Amino acid sequence: MIALTLRDIRLAMRAGGGFGLGLAFFLIVVVLVPFGVGPRADLLAAIAPGILWLGALLACLLSLDRIFALDWEDGSLDLIATSPLPLETVVSAKALAHWLTTGVPLILAAPVLGLLLNLAPGAYGALIVSLLIGTPALSVIGTFGAALTVGLKRGGLLLSLLVLPLYMPTLIFGADMVRRSAMGIEGTVPMLMLVGITCGAIALLPFASAAVLRVNLR
């Protein structure tokens, strides 16, 4: 499993792996927002938690189809599936690699982009913590979506249509946690809900993803 994760990370880091793509997309979304809504500092501060979470979510979505597509095309997915490693573990390793190459850079970049959006000073901790808790759920749910659409040509748009509704609870609680601490209210409840969603997704969804992948490799 570790070997597989490391392999995926190496592949993503090398040229053409699209490592920085999600990050650049996040940056552009956040930079575009003030042009769309106007440069008023109080307005930006009010919408900053939602925009930051939404940007992270979309950047995550953008990189999902790479999880399985390249391995599917060159046939290495079949090889991995026939290896003694259980498919559930393979899927988890893929999700972990996706999180390390997409989620972690997003978490590191988010506070800097928060500065651009005039995020309230008290909310930076909550922003980092909520992304730290929430992005693994995004990766795991996204892996399920990627496994569903792996065999399809033009699966990218369908992937977004399938995955976005599944992202809704994570987005609601994540953004709410940041918003609460920006307003100085205690945000324990959304944080606990976010922890629950992430733990549940990590524990259960690999089984669904593996089942779906098995059908697609049939």
In angstroms, how far is the first alpha carbon of the chain from the final one?
Answer: 23
Any contact of residue 168 with other proteins (CB under 8 A)? yes
Helices 41-62 and 21-37: angle between axes, nearest 10 degrees = 150
Any contact of residue 183 with other proteins (CB under 8 A)? no
Separation between Cα atoms, residue 11 and residue 99, nearest integer Å: 14
* Binding positions for other proteins, 122-151, rule CB under 8 A: 144, 148-149, 151
For residue 209 the two structure tokens come to 């993803």
Any contact of residue 189 with other proteins (CB under 8 A)? yes
Separation between Cα atoms, residue 84 and residue 107, nearest integer Å: 34
Task: Closer to other proteins by CB, 20 or 86: give it.
Answer: 86
Which part of the chain contacts other proteins (CB under 8 A), choosing from 56-64, 83-91, 95-103, 169-177?
A: 169-177
Task: Closer to other proteins by CB, 19 or 167: give it.
Answer: 167
* Binding positions for other proteins, 15-34, rule CB under 8 A: none
What DSSP letter does each residue of 44-67 carry, written as one string?
A: HHHHHHHHHHHHHHHHHHHTTTHH
Residues that bind other proteins (CB under 8 A): 144, 148-149, 151-152, 155, 158, 161-162, 164-166, 168-169, 172-173, 176, 189-190, 193, 197, 205, 208, 211-212, 215-216, 218
